Structure 1
Amino acid sequence: MHRKASLVLEDAVRNIYTVVAFCADNKVMELYRVQLQKIFKRSFLHGMAIGFGFGFSQFLLFACNALLLWYTAYAVKKYYIDLPTALKEYMVFSFATFALVEPFGLAPYILKRRKSLISVFEIIDRVPKIDPDDHSALKPPNVYGSIELKNVDFSYPTRPEMLILSNFSLKVNGGQTVAVVGVSGSGKSTIISLIERFYDPVTGQVLLDGRDLKLFNLRWLRSHMGLVQQEPIIFSTTIRENIIYARHNASEAEMKEAARIANAHHFISSLPHGYDTHVGMRGVDLTPGQKQRIAIARVVLKNAPILLLDEASSSIESESSRVVQEALDTLIMGNKTTILIAHRAAMMRHVDNVVVLNGGRIVEEGAHDALMAKNGLYVRLMQPHFGKGIRQHRLI
């Protein structure tokens, strides 16, 4: 019972970005509450039994002491032994000593739990800088999808001295597909984190349709974004639950259509239990390619106007890369604002603009063919992947 509750909590903490990106924190809390209720019912009976046993033992202890006191007093009175005062004083000191000594026996346990509780309450009492439940924030009826990072400086809170982005500016028009490439640590994934508002910039602004992201209700904002990460996030439940995580009221037909678009329906249908197959701990029973296709199906079902793809095909084994690539190609060719981080040449042919980062700044920008003609950093970054990308492109 405790293991199931811990599993729900562990899943949520490990996959916190996916949970908040799909606005599923309320669902996670509900799942956790259900598991805690089951534990409460079982623990309540267990606690009652322990409490009854402890209470009964204490009753016997004090009943025996009372009986001993009565018997001693009776004996003294019967045989005219003048010890009542001595006995009373003995009993007073006996109980007083017991009351004083007992807390000292519990002191190590109290201190041990106190240290744990301090850290727990520090987290509980922490006021988040980004409030997801600000009901006074904007919730526009329509989203055009124009995104702009304007003069952004950013460093992670754990490393405030290290600027990841410096005076960074980038504009993506509504419905446009932009690829971001760059050396490791140049700030590619940071752009995704800022757009999802996992963090706020140190200086500068991140704008959606010309308005600062801080003006929008956070849950509303994330409900209009679809995120596919480099490492596919799969929860320890069924394939069905993993896909409808994006939209819990989706119909069976909508779920299967999303799986078809993601090239996942065929392999799911071939499993003994189909969509009700349990995937094991964080999807251990699935291949990386299968997990990524399920993650893509989740985003397809969400049908958000803004797509954020963070190297969504980089960790896929070669035999699955073509199938995943086809699913990603289908996904980004829709009329959505798409920002993708990738190094595969096959994907670059479907984008409207390519942005090349180095040291937190844009050093090159333009169409794939134009950047290839420049023979600059873009060519050097793409060279190891270019031949492979062409072969995959021909297969597609």
Structure 2
Amino acid sequence: MARPNYSSNGSIKEELSKVKLSKESIKENLWVFKYIIPYRFKFILGLVLIALSGVTTMAFPYLLKELIDNAHQISLGKDAIAPGLVALTMLGVLSIQMVFSFSRVYLFSFVGEHAVADLRKDIYKQMIMMPMEFFAQRRVGELSNRLSADISQIQDTVSSVLAELLRGLVVLLIGIGLIFYLSWKLTLVMLSVVPVIVVVAVVFSRRIRKESKDAQDQLADSGVIVQETLQGIANVKAFSNEAYELKRYSISVEKVVKLAIKSAQLRGIFISIMIFSIFAAIVMVVWYGTSILQFGELTAFVVYTAFIGGSMAGFAELYSQLQKTLGATQRVKELFGEVTENVNIKDEPVQEAFRIEGTVELKHVAFSYPSRPEIQILKDVSFKAGLGQQIAIVGPSGAGKSTLVSLLLGFYNPAEGALLFDGKDAGSYPLSQLRKQMAFVPQDVLLFGGTIFENIAYGKPDATGEEVEEAARKAYAHGFISSFPEGYNTVVGERGVKLSGGQRQRVAIARAILKDPAILILDEATSSLDSESELLVQKALDSLMKGRTSIVIAHRLSTIRNADKIVVLEKGLVKECGTHDELIHLDNGLYRNLNKLQFELS
């Protein structure tokens, strides 16, 4: 399996082995055809229609020969089939061929669209089941490219390229058989071009494959730039960096253009040499054939040769498309080879066997991120949150507070020590069952681009309108929601940009209230708000924390004075632990110093 390689600008270019169109590479990527199995009968019928379409197509030159020969015979006063009857037969064959062609295009499109839709769903399912470390090492644009460019390439192959390849093979095989029947001598003259085509294909295929891959990688980089710029558009405008971003994107696009043109030049030379070689052979055939064949036979031979030449010339582009598809299929396959989280993707309720009351305990927990194993973020962290208790986690920046949240949510597993829920190791619970009983309200709330109702109902997708409204009331959000002309049907915009910070926080709190979790995790939920918004959000949080175990990552220490226990972290270690009154009276205590510093700054 290829390993991701990080370039200087942070994008990922996958070090894939060269995807040669060989027996081994084709066999390795045949897994994608399992998505055709549910539609195999239509696929098989499509294959039959391809064969029938090829046969009817190749009948046309033979009937053309008959038309010319019979017309010539009649002009000489000899008995022959009426040319009009032959012409009607030709029109009938063309009509049948038209039906076959339409049907096979429809069937292959039907199979291709449905099979690729199933593949897209499976890839998306695989992506959302990946652990957080996977997303920490990849950019969103690179992953989106798997669902867009790579799958589109596979879709084109299944829907059209494969059908054209099979049709071309049918035409080629039937055509060669018929021209051998007409004249083996002329056939050998025509086939003399094959060694030239083989040599050209060998010489150009490697260069074309390399240039095509480079162009695809650069296009993916351009997509990443667009995605990041649009996601961070507020920062772009705040720093007046529109020109900088435009220049960055333009440079990337220019690289795409250069690589694509270079690839197109190589393909153009490849195809041009092939076409020249094929039609040069046709010229030789016509020149030599006039001395050994009748006019009708020579016409049929030339038309058959043109069909064969067209098929062989088309193989050049099909060959290039298949190389791209093998590369895309390999990249997609690598995603399926990644280890996913142990989560149940089905939307099932919490099972009684895994229901938790809300006790949380950390015993000598140590942790380093897999990408930075040499840096220990948490070192021997121990504390316990009793049922219904509010535990505050405080400390300077970089102390490990947010990392602690990631462990509680199961994004990562402790490197050492144990994380317990109700006295049982976290590993004994399925992740999906554990997370269904936890709610997380972050500092930077991410809302989806739908309505306010949909965002609140995200905590309980089957919630009724009354339940959503009740949750909004408890979160002190109903007032501002009702003030909007469309109320709960108000669209919040990308990432919730149409709402203020305090409004987004209260929508997130309403979402958590609706979920009714046993354990609540708050990560500095009020640190970026103004005083008025903070007051409302704090009221909503007090309502949310009532009667349930709460782990609060606090920046403003004034908000956690009533916590049952305050855990003070510094450089990954628990420096102090106790109530506000206990810690504030510790001489030279870290909590006391932090309080004093915030008081002076305020």
Q: Same fold, TM exceeding 0.5?
A: yes
Q: Give 1:274's match in structure 2, choosing from 462, 487, 491.
A: 487
What's the CA shift for 1:235?
1.1
Aligned residue number for residue 145 of structure 1: 358
Aligned residue number for residue 212 of structure 1: 425
Query: Quick check: 1:345–1:386 contact (8 Å CA) kept in 2?
Result: no
Aligned residue number for residue 476 of structure 2: 263
What's the CA shift for 1:373?
1.9
Aligned residue number for residue 195 of structure 1: 408
Instruction: Give SS of 1:149's match.
Output: strand
What's the CA shift for 1:72?
5.2
Is the alpha carbon distance of 1:89 and 1:338 closer, same or farther for their aligned partners in structure 2, counting shifts above 3 Å?
same
Aligned residue number for residue 503 of structure 2: 290
Is the alpha carbon distance of 1:77 and 1:203 closer, same or farther for their aligned partners in structure 2, counting shifts above 3 Å?
farther
What's the CA shift for 1:313?
1.1
Instruction: Give SS of 2:317's match.
Output: helix
Kindly, what percent of the aligned residue pairs are identical?
A: 41
Aligned residue number for residue 83 of structure 1: 293
Is the alpha carbon distance of 1:150 and 1:70 closer, same or farther for their aligned partners in structure 2, counting shifts above 3 Å?
farther
What's the CA shift for 1:59?
11
Deviations 1:245-302 (A, max 9, x none): 1123333333222212211111111111111111112211111110000000111111
Query: Quick check: 1:224–1:305 contact (8 Å CA) kept in 2?
Result: yes
Q: Give 1:242's match in structure 2, choosing from 444, 455, 458.
A: 455
| Equivalent residue runs for 1:126-145 within 5 Å | 126-132=338-344, 139-140=352-353, 142-145=355-358
Is the alpha carbon distance of 1:166 and 1:74 closer, same or farther for their aligned partners in structure 2, counting shifts above 3 Å?
farther
Aligned residue number for residue 336 of structure 1: 548
| Aligned AA (1:187) | G
Is the alpha carbon distance of 1:367 and 1:96 closer, same or farther for their aligned partners in structure 2, counting shifts above 3 Å?
same
Structure in which a larger fraction of residues adopt strand: 1
User: C-alpha separation between the residues in 2 aligned to 1:162 and 1:68?
Assistant: 79
User: C-alpha separation between the residues in 2 aligned to 1:139 and 1:133?
Assistant: 18
TM-score using structure 2 length: 0.50
User: C-alpha separation between the residues in 2 aligned to 1:246 and 1:387?
Assistant: 39
User: C-alpha separation between the residues in 1 aligned to 2:523 and 2:463?
Assistant: 25
Aligned residue number for residue 322 of structure 1: 535
| Aligned AA (1:343) | H
Instruction: Give SS of 1:245's match.
Output: helix
Query: Quick check: 2:366–2:415 contact (8 Å CA) kept in 1?
Result: yes
**Given the alignment of the two structures, is residue 301 of structure 1 paired with residue 514 of structure 2, yes or no?**
yes
Deviations 1:92-121 (A, max 9, x none): 543333333212113333333443333222
Query: Quick check: 1:343–1:382 contact (8 Å CA) kept in 2?
Result: no
For the aligned residue pairs, the C-alpha RMSD in angstroms reads: 3.2
User: C-alpha separation between the residues in 2 aligned to 1:294 and 1:231?
Assistant: 12
What's the CA shift for 1:307?
0.5
Q: Give 2:392's match in structure 1, choosing from 179, 191, 195.
A: 179
Deviations 1:309-331 (A, max 9, x none): 01111222344222212222332
Aligned residue number for residue 49 of structure 1: none
User: C-alpha separation between the residues in 2 aligned to 1:169 and 1:216?
Assistant: 21
Q: Which is further off, 318-327 or 126-135?
A: 126-135
Is the alpha carbon distance of 1:141 and 1:168 closer, same or farther for their aligned partners in structure 2, counting shifts above 3 Å?
closer
Query: Quick check: 1:146–1:172 contact (8 Å CA) kept in 2?
Result: yes
What are structure 2's unaligned runs of at least 5 residues?
Answer: 1-52, 77-289
User: C-alpha separation between the residues in 1 aligned to 2:477 and 2:597?
Assistant: 29
**Given the alignment of the two structures, is residue 94 of structure 1 paired with residue 306 of structure 2, yes or no?**
yes
User: C-alpha separation between the residues in 2 aligned to 1:317 and 1:74?
Assistant: 95
What are structure 1's unaligned runs of at least 5 residues?
Answer: 1-56, 390-396
TM-score using structure 1 length: 0.74
User: C-alpha separation between the residues in 2 aligned to 1:140 and 1:316?
Assistant: 40
| Equivalent residue runs for 1:153-172 within 5 Å | 153-172=366-385
User: C-alpha separation between the residues in 1 aligned to 2:500 and 2:459?
Assistant: 21
User: C-alpha separation between the residues in 1 aligned to 2:585 and 2:499?
Assistant: 41
Query: Quick check: 2:61–2:304 contact (8 Å CA) kept in 1?
Result: no
Q: Which is further off, 150-159 or 335-344?
A: 150-159
Is the alpha carbon distance of 1:95 and 1:77 closer, same or farther for their aligned partners in structure 2, counting shifts above 3 Å?
farther
| Aligned AA (2:494) | M
Larger radius of gyration: 2
User: C-alpha separation between the residues in 2 aligned to 1:60 and 1:317?
Assistant: 77
Query: Quick check: 1:292–1:312 contact (8 Å CA) kept in 2?
Result: yes
What's the CA shift for 1:161?
2.7
Query: Quick check: 1:148–1:172 contact (8 Å CA) kept in 2?
Result: yes
Query: Quick check: 1:181–1:357 contact (8 Å CA) kept in 2?
Result: yes
User: C-alpha separation between the residues in 2 aligned to 1:272 and 1:66?
Assistant: 73
User: C-alpha separation between the residues in 1 aligned to 2:444 and 2:505?
Assistant: 8
| Aligned AA (1:342) | A
What's the CA shift for 1:361?
1.2
Is the alpha carbon distance of 1:161 and 1:73 closer, same or farther for their aligned partners in structure 2, counting shifts above 3 Å?
farther
Query: Quick check: 1:259–1:265 contact (8 Å CA) kept in 2?
Result: yes
Deviations 1:208-250 (A, max 9, x none): 0111111112222111111101111211111111111112333
Q: Give 1:349's match in structure 2, choosing from 546, 557, 561.
A: 561
**Given the alignment of the two structures, is residue 109 of structure 1 paired with residue 309 of structure 2, yes or no?**
no
**Given the alignment of the two structures, is residue 230 of structure 1 paired with residue 443 of structure 2, yes or no?**
yes
| Aligned AA (1:96) | I
| Aligned AA (2:538) | Q
Structure in which a larger fraction of residues adopt helix: 2
What is the number of residues matched between the two proteins?
332
